[in-house]
Structure 1
Amino acid sequence: MYTHRIVIVDDEPSIVKMVQLVLQKEGFQHIHAAGSCAEALDTIARHEADIVLLDIMLPDGSGLELCPKIRALGNPHILFMTAKASDLDILTGFAMGGDDYITKPFNPLEIAARIKARLRRIEETGTSFPRELPPKAQASAPTIYRFGRFQLSVAAGELLVGGAAVPCPAQEFQLLLHFCKHPGIVFSKAQLYESVWGMDGLGDDNTVMVHIRRLRERIELDPSEPTHLITVRGLGYKLSKEQTGV
C-alpha cells in the first residue's frame, strides 16, 4: 500500500474514474479528484498532495496557467495529462513547472508505472516529498554536495546557490542529485531519462533538455555559458568535477 496523496485534475468523469480505479488496484489509497482550476487548488492544498495528475484543458482555465499556482502551494510531482502532443506544447508544460507528461489517449497502467518509478527514485536516492523526511535522513547527518557556487542538501531537500535558498522542483532536484553523485561522467539524454525518471521512453529528449536548461538557470552565473552543467557535443551532459566538499 502507498500512503502518498494523489489528486487527479480532469473535467472528464470517465477518465477520472478509470485512472482512480487503476491506481487503487495498484495500491494507492489516498486519491482525490477535481474538475476545475478553482477546485484543484482547494483540493491540492487541503489534502497536501504529493502527486498531481493535471489535465491541460480545464473548463475554467488552462492547466499550464494552474501549474505555477500549484507550485506556490508546495512541491508535488506534477504529471501533465494532455491531448496536445506537439513539441511546443510539451516544452511549454515543462517551462511552467511540470515534471513529466503523458499524452491522451493513454493506458492508466502507464500512469501507475510512472508514479511507481518516481517513488522508486525517491527511495533509492534517500530524498523525499517535502512533508515526508525519510527515517534514515532523520537519524543521520544530512549528505551535502558542494560544487562551485551551489550546494545540494539531500536530507533537507534544499538547493543553495551563492548561499541563498533557490526553489527547485522535485524532478529537477533528482536530476541535479544524479549529476552530483557522478561528477565528471557524461550521460546521454536516454541514460538520464532512464536513471532519473525511471522509464525508457521514445521522444523524451525534450524532457531532459528542458530540465537541464531550468537547472542551468538556477545554478549558473550565465546559463548560456555554463560552467557546472556542461554539454559534451554529440554525447550528452556532465557536471564539472570542480567540487568544494561533500
Structure 2
Amino acid sequence: MRILIVDDEPSVAEFFSRLAAVHGFTDIDTVSTAEEAVTQVLRERYDLITLDIRMPGASGLEIIAVLRNMNPHAVIAVISGHIPEQIPDEILSCLDTILAKPVPLEIFTQLLEGALQVSDTMTRIRDLGGTPIAMTN
C-alpha cells in the first residue's frame, strides 16, 4: 500500500510516517504543501492520502477534488487541528473521513488498516481478468 502524508508541520508528518512504518508500511511519501501533493499524485498512485487543511499556499480543502480525480480509489483522510464548521458538500463528497488532531493512535491505526483493506480489494478486482471491453451500441 502506498501512502502520501501531506502536512506542513515536519514533526506531524514524521510522526504519521513512523507510525505507518511501525505497522509494516514502507511506501510512504511526505510533502508539506498542497502544491507538492498535487505534483506527487501526478507521479504516483496512492492508496491512502492524509491531508492537513491549513498549510502555506493552497489549503488542503482546495485540492481534495483534484486528488480524488487523480486517485479515485484512494482513501482520503483530512487530519487537521483546524476543521471548519462548514465544509461544502462538493468537498465532503471527495473525502472519506475527517479526523481532528491530535489523532489517537488507535484511530490512526484503524485508518491504516481500513485503507489496506480497500487497497487489497482494489488489487484483487484489477487482477480478475484481462483487458476491459469497450461497450458499443
Band of TM-score, shorter chain: 0.7 to 0.9
Distance in 2 of aligned mates of 1:103 and 1:111: 11
Give the corresponding residue for 2:82.
84
Matched, 1:138 2:121: no
Is the CA contact 2:68–2:95 (under 8 Å) kept in the aligned structure 1? Answer: no
* 1:70-81 matched pairs, under 5 angstroms: 70-75=67-72, 76-81=74-79
Give the corresponding residue for 1:111.
108
Give the corresponding residue for 2:92.
94
Report the residue type matching 1:80 in the other structure: V
- Shift in Å, 1:43: 1.4
Ranges in structure 2 where 5+ consecutive residues have no aligned partner: none
Ranges in structure 1 where 5+ consecutive residues have no aligned partner: 140-155, 157-162, 164-246
Deviations 1:64-83 (A, max 9, x none): 11111112322121110122
Bigger relative CO (Cα 8 Å, ≥ 6 apart): 2
Percent identity (aligned): 24
Distance in 2 of aligned mates of 1:71 and 1:81: 16
TM-score when normalising by structure 1: 0.47
Distance in 2 of aligned mates of 1:44 and 1:112: 23
Give the corresponding residue for 2:37.
40
Distance in 2 of aligned mates of 1:22 and 1:15: 11
The 3-state SS of whatever aligns with 2:86 is helix
The structure 1 segments of at least 4 consecutive aligned residues displaced by more than 6 Å after TM superposition are none
CA RMSD of aligned residues (A): 2.6
Is the CA contact 1:80–1:93 (under 8 Å) kept in the aligned structure 2? Answer: no
Give the corresponding residue for 1:24.
21
Distance in 1 of aligned mates of 2:31 and 2:8: 7
Distance in 1 of aligned mates of 2:90 and 2:81: 14
Report the residue type matching 1:35 in the other structure: S
Distance in 1 of aligned mates of 2:32 and 2:40: 10
